Structure 1
Amino acid sequence: MRTAPRSVFRASASSVVVAALALVGVQAAAQTATAATKEASSIVACTTANLRLTVAEAARPINHLLLKATNTGTKSCYAYSAPYLRAGADAQAAMTWADESTPQSVVTLKPGQSAYAGILTYSPDGEGGATEKTLGVSLADRNGDATGQEKTLNLPNGGVFFNSVATVTYWQDNAADALAW
């Protein structure tokens, strides 16, 4: 009767253990991916209904405002693209978005977290302009279209001067990045 040397048996046993551990790892990765997919599918778009919006004058840089959006809902929400802003009640078109401020990913706000957008109000290079007392804010959906109701905010200091170069950044996860543009 011929028997296999012990080293062959040990090699086979360790191969079985490695294969079992690999299978457990694949199953764990699949469960993690499934959980992440379920969480992502339950996240809604941020709207004026689930956010508290505030606008304040920025200390630096000059001619800038900071728009802050805080999630007041019970679910996480996505702050897509940039806000649609209208300076003044008579504004016909939304401010231009600063494309160079596009973040690497969509800003996700858990309940209580905030996103920020920087607003350049004017530049000497711009044309025309007027002092406006209000700022109309609408948010974007996944496709970049405006969603929900516009919210009107009072601008600081009784009014802010805007001219043709007024732009807004994409949503950022911190104020410093929003004001860097």
Structure 2
Amino acid sequence: MQIRPRHRAPRVRAAAAALTSALALSALGTVPAAAAGTSTAKPVTCTAATTKVTVQKVQRPLNHLLLTATNTGSKPCYAYNAPYLRFDDDQASTFVLRDSVPQAVVTLEPGESAYAAIGTQSPEGTHGYQAHRLGVLFSNRAMDGSVGGWARPKLPTGGVYVDSSAFVTYWQPNRADALRW
């Protein structure tokens, strides 16, 4: 028995490939804004001037804070990489937890938020102190510098104990993803 190729087979394969690509883009959150029903304004890099940055203590996991950046601008913005943190007058920024890289850059429509977890201490940490101030800078796309000025969210009353093991995660699209680290 001889099987003849069908003339529609290339069209079916092309349609299947297009559908697969569209589904993959949708899963990655990269569907064009018009298709997703969101604004068509070109996103800019999130900065302290276009967001409201807050920090709060969480019960679980222990010794963690949740950093939230909410887009207060009129255009979408990208929360690239991880925030740069500085407690009090530290000479160096807080260690970035590389294992927390999300699958895609977090894009914030106006009113939406990105989240990053801050681990403040661990039994392995040394040189601990009570921090009373926090400075936050947003990363540029290349993660080799910052954009905009400092955001200065208020730490919980009385400050936060921080030691050498402190870390921050990359920006995440939701609280649960941020706090799993």
TM range (shorter): 0.7 to 0.9
Q: Distance in 1 between matches of 2:124 and 2:33?
A: 52
Residue of structure 2 in register with 1:51 after alignment: 51
> Which structure: greater helix fraction?
1
Structure 1, gaps ≥5 residues long? 1-14
Query: Post-superposition shift, 1:56?
Result: 0.3
**What amino acid does structure 1 have at the position aligned with 2:53?**
L
Residue of structure 2 in register with 1:174 after alignment: 174
Structure 2, gaps ≥5 residues long? 1-7, 23-30
Residue of structure 2 in register with 1:81 after alignment: 81
What root-mean-square deviation, in Å, do the aligned CA atoms of Structure 1 and Structure 2 show?
Answer: 2.4
Q: Are residue 139 (structure 1) and residue 146 (structure 2) matched? A: no
**What amino acid does structure 1 have at the position aligned with 2:126?**
E
**Could you say if the C-alpha distance between residues 94 and 163 of structure 1 is closer, same or farther in structure 2, counting changes exceeding 3 Å?**
same
Q: Which of the two has higher C-alpha Rg?
A: 1
Residue of structure 2 in register with 1:114 after alignment: 113
Residue of structure 2 in register with 1:10 after alignment: none
Q: Distance in 1 between matches of 2:40 and 2:117?
A: 27
**Taking structure 1 as the reference length, what is the TM-score of the superposition?**
0.77
Q: Distance in 2 between matches of 1:114 and 1:135?
A: 19
Q: What fraction of aligned residue pairs are identical, expressed as a percent?
A: 51
Alignment length, in residue pairs? Answer: 152
Residue of structure 1 in register with 2:5 after alignment: none
**Could you say if the C-alpha distance between residues 155 and 141 of structure 1 is closer, same or farther in structure 2, counting changes exceeding 3 Å?**
same
Higher alpha-carbon deviation: 54-63 or 41-50: 41-50
Residue pair 2:41, 2:76 contacting (<8 A) in 1 also? no
**What amino acid does structure 2 have at the position aligned with 1:180?**
R
Q: Distance in 2 between matches of 1:171 and 1:33?
A: 21
**Taking structure 2 as the reference length, what is the TM-score of the superposition?**
0.77
> Which structure: greater strand fraction?
1
Residue of structure 2 in register with 1:125 after alignment: 124
